[in-house]
Copies of this chain bind each other. A is one copy, B any other.
Amino acid sequence: MGIFSKTCEYAMRAVFFIAHKTAGGGRVGIKEVALGIDSPEHFLAKILQDLSRRGVIQSAKGPNGGFYVDEVILNMPLASIVEAVDGSDIFTGCGLGLEYCSEENPCPIHHEFKAIRNQIQDLLKTTKIGGFNKELNMGIAVLKKQKNLPQ
């Protein structure tokens, strides 16, 4: 796996997709999201239910229902998604997995690793969920596994 869990990767791509589709109003259904980010529908449904419970996206049942975001969510940082799915270990954890690694009690790569952690934190906290809508509209950013998949 990469830096984030697969579940978290799906979550980020889905939230970007939902933000992109519903920033101007409306809702988008799970089928369309799954198709739009090229992910397994039922698995993604579970992830989105969880994100909805945690307030990272919004949802409505019934006809015309679906997932959507409001202005508040558009301005939330990417970190909200990552924390909801993977927890905050990525912001605070030791590179060698030592629970008690700290400034006073550092692991060998503590200081170098802290710099990396901080950079990740910076990316996740300063980037807003709604920050990619322009690129996505213009088609110069992509959310699917492969380029030029149908739909």
Contacts and interface: CB of A to CB of B under 8 A. Distances in A.
Interface string A111-137: 011011001100100010001100110
Given A1-B5, A108-B135, 6 more contacts: A1-B89, A2-B89, A9-B96, A96-B143, A106-B141, A112-B123
Nearest to A92: B2
Nearest to A3: B3
A107 B143 contact: yes
5 contacts: A2-B93, A101-B142, A106-B140, A116-B116, A116-B119
Contacts of A127: 109, 112
A93 B5 CA distance: 12
A4 interface: yes
Contacts of A43: none
Interface residues of A, number: 49
Interface of A: 1-6, 9-10, 12-13, 16, 78, 89-90, 93-101, 105-110, 112-113, 115-116, 119-120, 123, 127, 131-132, 135-136, 140-147
Contacts of A142: 98, 100-101, 105-107
Contacts of A95: 2-4, 9
A136 B115 contact: no
Nearest to A98: B145
Contact of A108 (B2, B109, B132): B132
A144 B108 contact: no
